[in-house]
Amino acid sequence: MSEQQLFKVTIDNITIEVAPGTTILEAARKIGGEVAPPAMCYYSKLKGSGGKCRTCLVEVSKGSEKDPRPMPKLVASCRTTVMDGMEVKNITSERVVDARAGVVELLLINHPLDCPVCDQAGECHLQDLSYEHGNAGTRYEFQRRTFKKHDLGQYIQLHMTRCILCYRCVFTADQLTNKREHGVLDRGDHAQIATFIEKNLDNDFIGNVIDVCPVGALTDKTFRFKNRVWFLKPVNAHCDCPKCSGKVTLWYRGEEVFRVTARKDQWGEVEDWICNECRFDKKKTSDWVIEGPREISRQSVISLNHYVGMQKPKETFEAVMDGRKPRMFMDIHDVSEVNRPDVDLSLIDGPAHSDDFNKTNKKD
Amino acid sequence: MGIKLLLDKAHVEGIRSYEVYRREGGYRSVEKALKELGPEAIVEEVKKSGLRGRGGAGFPTGMKWSFIAKPEGVPRHLVCNADESEPGTFKDRYLMEFLPHLLIEGLIVSSYALGSNATYIYIRGEYAWIPDILEEAIAEAKANGWLGKNILGTGFDLEIYVQRGAGAYICGEETALIESLEGKRGNPRIKPPFPAVKGLWDRPTVVNNVETLAAVVPIINMGGEEYAKIGVGKSTGTKLISACGNINKPGVFEIDMTISVEEFIYSDEYCGGIRNGKRLKACIPGGSSVPILPANKLFKTAKGETRYMNYESLADGGFASGTMMGSGGFIVLDEDQSVVKHTYTLARFYRHESCGQCSPCREGTGWMEKILKRILEGKGKMSDIDLLWDIQRKIEGNTICPLGDAAAWPVAAAIRHFRDEFEWYVNNPELCLTSNYGLAHYADPLEVVTA
Ligand SMILES: Cc1cc2nc3c(=O)[nH]c(=O)nc-3n(C[C@H](O)[C@H](O)[C@H](O)COP(=O)(O)O)c2cc1C
Ligand code: SF4
Ligand code: SF4
Ligand code: FES
């Protein structure tokens, strides 16, 4: 193979050499850390993805060695390829930080921050993004979008209120399954993910839409609300599957496999797609050959575990709502069997386990 | 009488039919282009003419044509953008309805220049009756040997197809138009690659506006150099302006771009002045997406010079004191009009037409609409005005396609030039629903202009 000429690109004052055709985002990911812009819609494994959410905007302060003029507008780093000598500002650009905060505010207009009841909490890219770039409050005071419940079949549940229209699931369905059955209906802020006339999503590989969804809009019916990810132990395992690579992560609590997912890298992207059977039907340890614990490098709370000191929570609701009083739609005790008023979590030694809720654990 | 290159035959009886059009000198440019010039020379003539795209952005057409990639063995396409959905713009409709053969003629010459054997007219769904007119003209042209196989014995084959859109503004954006032509949802594509490299079915494609393509006919007939002598500076040739609003004579006018804005509004040849003897309050000169200008900034540039109806003069001063030529949809507001109401109407339009792909446009347009509605209903707050400003700023320049800018600019310009009017709405909640805010409430009376 002949020597390929590499392009030099400097991102936030760090220089790296990459092959021509590399996007700014991929180059930044090679450097890693904070230099890598957040990405809500780009997914390196999906052809044509990216460009839509606008969270990865960066400033190109020097176009290239040949044409050093800066680019006038911020560009989507996930869809802009590097030029030799390009200089890019990500977190070192005030314009970028400002624009990104704007995107976050806009994304949160129609995305409730109901992390406490969302199945994606702990693994949610939007949660990270709003934590890093968002404001404490919102200036939006109108009614949010609401949707009729839409059943997508036996495996997958759609919570359209949480969808940020990143199109990842549409690309996944388009590129991985032999029959695409869902897509985007309507335009603008009425746009929604939907199936064609209430069809089921039951193609062999359709389960992957759950893994690619950056938020909690698509959830696994065999797992949802059964546990919080930070109580689970991820373990790499494989099986001899005729349809897919069979390489998965099992999520254990005690002896029980609660969830099976594809293995995700530090950017939250799957390493190999897996089939529905592996994901939804093989929930016994005996179905798998266990390889060992999986290290989670980012994009999940379980990669953190570095709590420093203790902070008492304070009431933030009113402050966040700009002085407006919250309206309570429900009392969690009315709808949840789990949070029984007679169970006092603080009295339980260690994390709560399903057994704890079966016993009557009265305060004394 | 100003010079007319496109509409000079528009009032000839029966000009829609092939016989009359041909008798009046039609299709001469095809003979000249195919027999005398050849593709490269046509592109040269168009370059020399200085013609700028009439679809809105004003990009030089000859240059755009010279960018088209020419990979061996790959077909190329020309697409005529007849989507014309910009509020206030209706010039292409006039052209197609009354002079269908002029467009077909322009399409044949342009297709030949670009090497397109299959050319498409993508026409907006609401123009329900025009496709029939175009198809009839295409059939006549074909029957007379201007279309089909081996045109004029030159070996050049061409078919023109008319495709109706389903009525979405976004399908006028060239890449969304291409997606729609391919049978998909009309979402704009992310550029690059540009259509000139990868367009319709991934083949090199040029998308041009109806008026742009029609203008190729006089350019070939009279030669690019002669064409460039009409107009001024980089605004060469003639431009169709569709004028509407509170004027005495709404309609489609062909202007050479040397007349002043004041003359255009007040002279009898064009708009004929403001209706009912009212005073002029403001004008959106280039279709709904370009910034609105108050009367006192419309006739004079910031330097105090006369403002003319051309690309440079209208844009003089940038967004602080200027606007844009855009598509030439000239919307005039008299003293009784409420800028806040108009801005709300536009915001509603852009919200409805956002394709929904990118977050700033999808969410931002809806938010702006809701705030404007609240202000109009007398429930606005002073902070809403700054909030609107902030939202439009976060949309502008950060979206996939220019619809985001198109939605942001009207709001920005309205606040920039008519902030006191927004404040009036906030301060007079009880009057909002009953009064049509106009000059009557305007603290700072506008300059009174006489013809
Ligand atoms: C949202 C949007 C809508 C547009 N609608 C139209 C249209 O209806 N007609 C048109 O000719 N150009 C329209 N354009 C501009 C086209 O994208 C394109 O620039 C134009 O067709 C190029 O033709 P020209 O070079 O001849 O001007 C629109 C652009 C945007 C962003
Ligand atoms: S459902 Fe999830 S993956 Fe699909 S578009 Fe919405 S946010 Fe993206
Ligand atoms: S700017 Fe608006 S219309 Fe254009 S791609 Fe984005 S969402 Fe769609
Ligand atoms: S990740 Fe680049 S725009 Fe969404």
> Could B363 and A55 be called an inter-chain contact, meaning their C-beta atoms sit closer than 8 Å?
no
Q: Is B18-229 a domain of CATH 2.40.10.120?
A: no
Helix, strand or coil for residue B189?
coil
Residues A204 and A280 in one domain: no
Q: Do residues B49 and B219 touch, judged by C-beta distance below 8 A?
A: yes
Q: CB of A53 closer than 6 A to ligand 4?
A: yes
Has residue A203 been placed in a domain? yes
Interface of B with A (CB under 8 A): 168, 170, 185, 190, 351-360, 362-367, 370, 387, 393-394, 397-400
Q: State which of A180, A198, A225 marks the end of a domain.
A: A225
pLDDT of residue B143: 97
Q: What are phi and psi of B136, to 5 degrees?
A: -65, -45
Name which of A73-77, A197-201, B212-216 the model is least confident about: A197-201
CA of B34, closest CA in chain A: separation in Å?
39
Round to whole Å and give the CA distance between B173 and B399.
Answer: 13
Residues A220 and A235 in one domain: no
* Strands A75-76, A57-62: pairing kind: antiparallel
Question: Maximum Cα–Cα distance for chain B, whole Å?
Answer: 74
Question: Rounded to whole angstroms, what are the CA distances from B130 to B10, B108, B161?
Answer: 16, 19, 13
Round to whole Å and give the CA distance between B255 and B273.
Answer: 16
Q: Which atom of ligand 4 is nearest to the CA of A25?
A: 2
Which two structure tokens, joined as six digits, stand for B10?
């528009």
B359: chain A residues, CB-CB within 8 Å: 52-55, 103, 106-107, 164-165
Give residue for tokens 């108050």. B294
Which two structure tokens, joined as six digits, stand for A191?
């746009």
Helix, strand or coil for residue B402?
coil
* B63: Cβ contacts below 8 Å, ≥ 6 apart: B47
Q: CB of A193 closer than 6 A to ligand 2?
A: yes
Q: CB of A218 closer than 6 A to ligand 2?
A: yes
List pLDDT tens digits, range A272-322.
999 999 999 999 999 999 998 888 777 677 766 544 444 455 667 777 777
> Could A106 and B387 be called an inter-chain contact, meaning their C-beta atoms sit closer than 8 Å?
no
Round to whole Å and give the CA distance between B358 and A184.
Answer: 13
Ligand 3 center–CA B411 separation, angstroms: 17
| Bridge partner list, A219 | A157
pLDDT of residue B433: 75
Give residue for tokens 């400003």. B389
List pLDDT tens digits, range A32-48.
988 999 999 999 999 99
pLDDT of residue B240: 98
pLDDT of residue B437: 63
Confidence class for position A331, pLDDT limits 50, 70, 90: low
Q: Which ligand is nearest to the CA of A167?
A: 2
CA atoms within 13 A on the CB side of A243: 13
Q: CB of A165 closer than 6 A to ligand 4?
A: no
- Is the reported ipTM for this assembly greater than 0.85? yes
Question: CATH 3.40.50.11540 in chain B, residues?
Answer: 18-229
Is A66's pLDDT higher than 60? Answer: yes
Has residue A131 been placed in a domain? no
pLDDT higher at B373 or A331: B373
Ligand 1 center–CA A235 separation, angstroms: 54
Which residue's CA is the nearest one to ligand 1's atom 18?
Answer: B174
Which two structure tokens, joined as six digits, stand for A179?
């029959």
Round to whole Å and give the CA distance between B240 and B97.
Answer: 14
pLDDT of residue A59: 98
Question: Rounded to whole angstroms, what are the CA distances from B66 to B43, B71, B160?
Answer: 7, 14, 22
pLDDT of residue A308: 42
Round to whole Å and give the CA distance between B16 and B97.
Answer: 8
Has residue A27 been placed in a domain? yes
Q: Which atom of ligand 3 is nearest to the CA of B354?
A: 3
CA angle A324/A326/A331 to nearest 5° reads 170
B354: chain A residues, CB-CB within 8 Å: 187-189
CA dihedral A110, B405, B426, B429 (to 10 degrees): -70
Which two structure tokens, joined as six digits, stand for A340?
């029984």
Q: CB of A55 closer than 6 A to ligand 4?
A: yes
Name which of A53-62, A221-230, A345-354 the model is least confident about: A345-354
Q: Do residues A280 and A207 touch, judged by C-beta distance below 8 A?
A: yes
Hey, what CATH class is B339-433 in? mainly alpha
Residue of B363, B368, B372, B400 to mutate, interface with A, max A Cβ within 10 Å: B363
List pLDDT tens digits, range B349-394.
999 999 999 999 999 999 999 999 999 989 999 999 999 999 999 9
CB proximity A322 to B under 8 Å: no
Round to whole Å and give the CA distance between B381 and B393.
Answer: 19
Q: Which amino acid is at B294?
A: P
- Indicate the fold that domain B235-334 takes in CATH: Ubiquitin-like (UB roll) (3.10.20)
Round to whole Å and give the CA distance between B313 and B329.
Answer: 16
Residue of B359, B362, B385 to mutate, interface with A, max A Cβ within 10 Å: B359
Is A54's pLDDT higher than 70? Answer: yes
pLDDT of residue A309: 42
Q: Which ligand is nearest to the CA of B362?
A: 3
Give residue for tokens 């890019």. A88
Confidence class for position A328, pLDDT limits 50, 70, 90: low
Name which of A110-124, B98-112, B125-139, B316-330 the model is least confident about: A110-124
pLDDT of residue A306: 40
Round to whole Å and give the CA distance between A139 and A345.
Answer: 35
Is B438's pLDDT higher than 80? Answer: no
Is B446's pLDDT higher than 60? Answer: no
Which two structure tokens, joined as six digits, stand for A353?
């386990």
Q: Report which DSSP code applies to A264.
A: B
Residues A213 and A256 in one domain: no
H helical segments located in B144-277: 174-181, 210-222, 224-229, 261-266
Q: What percent of chain B has pLDDT over 70?
A: 96
Q: Do residues B272 and B243 touch, judged by C-beta distance below 8 A?
A: no
Give the residue numbers spanning the domain of A178.
Answer: 141-225
Round to whole Å and give the CA distance between A235 and A289.
Answer: 10
Residues A344 and A262 in one domain: no
Residues A184 and A241 in one domain: no
Burial class from Cβ neighbours inside 10 Å (0-12, 13-18, 19+) for residue B156 reads middle
CATH code of the domain covering residue A59: 3.10.20.740
- Mean pLDDT value of segment A326-340: 63
Q: CB of B111 closer than 6 A to ligand 1?
A: no
Question: Rounded to whole angstroms, what are the CA distances from A208 to A212, A244, A262, A273, A296?
Answer: 6, 12, 8, 7, 19
Calculate the average pLDDT of chain A: 87
Ligand 4 center–CA A91 separation, angstroms: 16
Question: CATH 1.20.1440.230 in chain B, residues?
Answer: 339-433
Name which of A291-300, B171-180, B200-209 the model is least confident about: A291-300
Residues A217 and A230 in one domain: no
Ligand 1 center–CA B173 separation, angstroms: 5
Q: Do residues B152 and B34 touch, judged by C-beta distance below 8 A?
A: yes
pLDDT higher at A231 or B306: B306
Q: SS3 for B278-338, per residue?
A: CCEEEEECCCCCCCCEEHHHHCECCCCCECECCHHHHHCCHHHHCCCCCCCEEEEEECCCC
Round to whole Å and give the CA distance between B291 and B284.
Answer: 6
The number of domains in chain A is 4
Confidence class for position B450, pLDDT limits 50, 70, 90: very low
Residue in B353, B358, B367 nearest the CB of A54? B358
Round to whole Å and give the CA distance between B143 and B19.
Answer: 12
Q: Do residues A239 and A278 touch, judged by C-beta distance below 8 A?
A: yes
Residue in A52, A74, A79 nearest the CB of B397? A74
Q: State which of A166, A194, A225 marks the end of a domain.
A: A225
Residues 59-78 of A with CB under 8 A from B: 73-74, 76
Which residue's CA is the nearest one to ligand 3's atom 4?
Answer: B401
Residue of A23, A52, A97 to mutate, interface with B, max B Cβ within 10 Å: A52
List pLDDT tens digits, range A150-168.
888 889 999 999 999 999 9
Q: CB of B208 closer than 6 A to ligand 1?
A: yes
Q: Which amino acid is at B52?
A: R
pLDDT of residue A337: 60
Helix, strand or coil for residue B111?
helix
Residue in A76, A107, A167 nearest the CB of B363? A107
Q: CB of B358 closer than 6 A to ligand 3?
A: yes
Which two structure tokens, joined as six digits, stand for B218?
């006089």
CA dihedral B175, B192, B355, B242 (to 10 degrees): -50
Round to whole Å and give the CA distance between B168 and B287.
Answer: 16
Has residue A177 been placed in a domain? yes
Q: Which amino acid is at A175?
A: Q
Confidence class for position A323, pLDDT limits 50, 70, 90: confident
* A359: Cβ contacts below 8 Å, ≥ 6 apart: none
* B12: Cβ contacts below 8 Å, ≥ 6 apart: B20, B24
Confidence class for position B317, pLDDT limits 50, 70, 90: very high
Round to whole Å and give the CA distance between B217 and B45.
Answer: 11
pLDDT of residue A179: 75
- Mean pLDDT value of segment B10-18: 96
> Could A188 and B353 be called an inter-chain contact, meaning their C-beta atoms sit closer than 8 Å?
yes
Q: Do residues A95 and A128 touch, judged by C-beta distance below 8 A?
A: no
Is B408's pLDDT higher than 80? Answer: yes
Ligand 1 center–CA B338 separation, angstroms: 28
> Could A110 and B170 be called an inter-chain contact, meaning their C-beta atoms sit closer than 8 Å?
no
- The edge-to-edge listing of strands for the beta sheet with B329-334 is B251-256, B238-245, B329-334, B280-284, B293-294
The dihedral sign for the CA sequence A211, A213, A214, A218: negative
Residues A12 and A97 in one domain: yes
Question: CATH 3.10.20.600 in chain B, residues?
Answer: 235-334
List pLDDT tens digits, range B425-437.
999 988 887 766 6
Has residue A128 been placed in a domain? no
The dihedral sign for the CA sequence B192, B195, B201, B202: negative
List pLDDT tens digits, range A252-270.
988 889 999 999 998 999 9
Give residue for tokens 């690579």. A245
Is A57's pLDDT higher than 80? Answer: yes
List pLDDT tens digits, range B60-97.
999 999 999 999 999 999 999 999 999 999 999 999 99
Q: CB of A244 closer than 6 A to ligand 2?
A: no
Residues A250 and A193 in one domain: no
Residues 79-118 of A with CB under 8 A from B: 79, 99, 102-103, 105-107, 109-110
Residue in A53, A139, A142 nearest the CB of B359? A53
pLDDT of residue A354: 66
> Could A142 and B185 be called an inter-chain contact, meaning their C-beta atoms sit closer than 8 Å?
no
Confidence class for position A3, pLDDT limits 50, 70, 90: low
Ligand 1 center–CA A100 separation, angstroms: 28
CA angle B169/B217/B18 to nearest 5° reads 90
CB proximity A184 to B under 8 Å: yes
Residues A197 and A179 in one domain: yes
Round to whole Å and give the CA distance between A262 and A273.
Answer: 6
Ligand 1 center–CA B55 separation, angstroms: 5
